[in-house]
Structure 1
Amino acid sequence: MIDIEKASIRFRTKTGHVDAVRDVTLRVEEGEVFGLVGESGSGKSTLLRALAGLTPLSEGSMRIASHTDKRDVQMVFQDPYGSLHPRFTVDRTLRESLAINGIGDQDARILAALAEVGLGAAYRFRYPHQLSDGQRQRVSIARALIVEPRVLLLDEPTSALDVSMQAEILNLLRRLHAQRKLTMILVSHNLAVVGFLCQRVAVMKEGGIVEQLAIEAVRARDVRHEYTRRLLMATDGYSRESRTS
């Protein structure tokens, strides 16, 4: 479904340039949930934005299936408040996605989309400030899914949420993947989150991929690169702190 070949992304700065992504090659199969992990600044979110068409490549290529149109690839962003227009009701947010893509039967689709993410019709005419962070992220997911994409790009979709809300959103994404047979790429700094949802993972450091693993290898701590081991140790510490807090 997704084929990335020797992709590089370079940003100009006042003092020169920054290579945010360097010579990345990876493939994601149709229906697979693939994880990109790494610390802040590793290039994982930049790579995801390039897949969404929001950031241009400097070198290399990206291909998403064949015969796709723009609505086939949708993205859910990290900040559930910042990604929603503060003056749009939930109804208008979802309706705008349908209108842009020329999709009819809007009222029925809006109600179905809300139900699919666990929000009833009562939320339809609320504004973002009237929703919790978890509810806002559910609206963001509904906005992405309402146009019936084939690929869902998830940029740290749970990092702005508390632990209980994180679990709810991850369970929702797992259910949606099973029901819709979506291809997903999940960006996260937390290997525990990736381990819950993904089948394979690529570990990024300083713009490049240091290793790609099946998720079973991550769970078994069967990793080759020292950087991946450090990420696992950081995840273990986070998990223990969450359980005791």
Structure 2
Amino acid sequence: MIDVDALTVRFKTAAGTVDAVRNASFHVARGEVFGLVGESGSGKSTILRALSGLSPIAQGTVRVEQQGEYERKRNVQMVFQDPYGSLHPRFTVDQTLREPLRINGIGQHEERIVNALREVGLNASFRFRYPHQLSGGQRQRVAIARALIVEPRVLLLDEPTSALDVSVQAEILNLLKRLHRERDLTMILVSHNLAVVGFLCSRVAIMRNGEIVEELDIGQIRAQQVDNEYSRSLLLATGGYQRKAVEALGIDTEG
């Protein structure tokens, strides 16, 4: 579904140019959940922004099922880290969900908005509330509904739970897992939390200083079977993949 080949993303700064991502390559199969892990500034979110068309590509290519630019804009949707910052403060939930339908020329607004809210666990009474009238978890549910209402094939998740309380994190993670299963979505998850990555992802790429240093399946992460020294230090720094970390989040591992 997704092919990233020798991707370099370059930004201009006062001191010159900086390569935020250098020569990154990976492939994601249809229906797979792929993780990008690394410390802050490693380039994880920049890759997502390049895939969604929000960051310029200096070199290399990104392909999503060989789709054109218009199809990619609809079929690749992103959920951001901060659910309050990603929602327009003066838009009601109804306006927030109606806008992508209007932009993409999709009809049946009323039915789609109600169904989108129901799918993320919110009833129709939320339609005319503003972001400041919602909790953090409710705002993130609205953000997920906004991404899904245009029926994308790919969902990009940029630290979707890190700004939420631990109990709410579990609710959102279980929601994402259910949506992945029901919609057969292809997902890329950016996170620094290996318990979150281990719950959702089947494979993980570990990033450092804009480069992918190692790609592993989740079984290797759980067993801490890594070859790269940085990957080993990252596992040690985060306490490794620990089942008790998953349990601390209250995640439904049977779901």
TM-score in terms of structure 1 length: 0.96
1:188-227 to 2 correspondences below 5 Å: 188-227=191-230
Q: Is the 8 A contact 2:235 2:241 kept in 1?
A: no
Given the alignment of the two structures, is residue 187 of structure 1 paired with residue 193 of structure 2, yes or no? Answer: no
SS at match of 2:86: coil
Q: 1:237 to 1:211 in 2, by over 3 A?
A: closer
Distance (Å, rounded) in 2 between the aligned partners of 1:67 and 1:200: 24
Letter in 1 for 2:27: R
Distance 2:234 2:176 in 1: 23
Query: In structure 2, the residue corresponding to 1:18 is in which secondary structure?
Result: strand
Q: Distance in 2 between matches of 1:94 and 1:175?
A: 21
Give me the CA root mean square deviation.
Answer: 1.7
Residue aligned with 1:125, SS: coil
Instruction: Show structure 1 runs of 5+ residues with no match.
Output: none
Amino acid at match of 2:15: T
Partner of 2:7, secondary structure, is strand
Match of 1:158 among 141, 158, 161: 161
Q: Distance in 2 between matches of 1:76 and 1:153?
A: 6
82, 97, 114: which one aligns with 2:85: 82
**How much has 1:60 moved relative to structure 2?**
0.6
Distance between the aligned counterparts of 2:241 and 2:130, measured in 1?
Answer: 33
Alignment length, in residue pairs? Answer: 244
Q: Which residue of 1 is the match for residue 150 of structure 2?
A: 147
Tell me if 1:126 matches 2:129. yes
Rounded to whole Å, the distance in 2 between the matches of 1:92 and 1:59 is: 37
Deviations along 1:159-199, one digit per CA (max 9) or x if unpaired, are 10011111111100000000000000000111111111001
> After TM superposition, where is structure 1 displaced by more than 4 Å over at least 4 residues in a row?
237-244
In structure 2, the partner of 1:107 is 110
2:149 partner amino acid:
I
Deviation at 1:230, TM superposition (A): 2.2
Change (3 A) 1:204 1:237: closer
Task: Show the 5 A alignment for 1:56-71.
Answer: 56-67=56-67, 69=71, 70-71=73-74
Q: Is the contact made by 1:24 and 1:209 (CA closer than 8 Å) also made in structure 2?
A: yes
Residues 94 and 146, structure 1, Cα contact 8 Å, conserved in 2:
yes
Whole-angstrom distance in 2 between the partners of 1:14 and 1:54: 21
**Secondary structure in 1 aligned to 2:215?**
strand
CA distance in 2 between counterparts of 1:151 and 1:63 reads 12
Counterpart of 2:34 in structure 1 is: 34
Equivalent position amino acid for 2:235 in 1: L
Percent of residue pairs identical: 69
2:44 maps to a residue whose letter is K
The Cα offsets for residues 45-96 of structure 1, whole Å up to 9 and x where unpaired, read as 0011000000011111111102450210100001000000000000010011
Residue pair 2:33, 2:189 contacting (<8 A) in 1 also: yes
Unaligned runs of 5+ in 2: 250-255
Q: Counterpart amino acid of 1:34?
A: F
1:55 is the counterpart of 2:55: yes
Alignment of 1:164-175 (within 5 A): 164-175=167-178
Q: State the shift of 1:12 in Å.
A: 1.1
Partner amino acid for 2:159? E
CA distance in 1, matches of 2:237, 2:26: 25
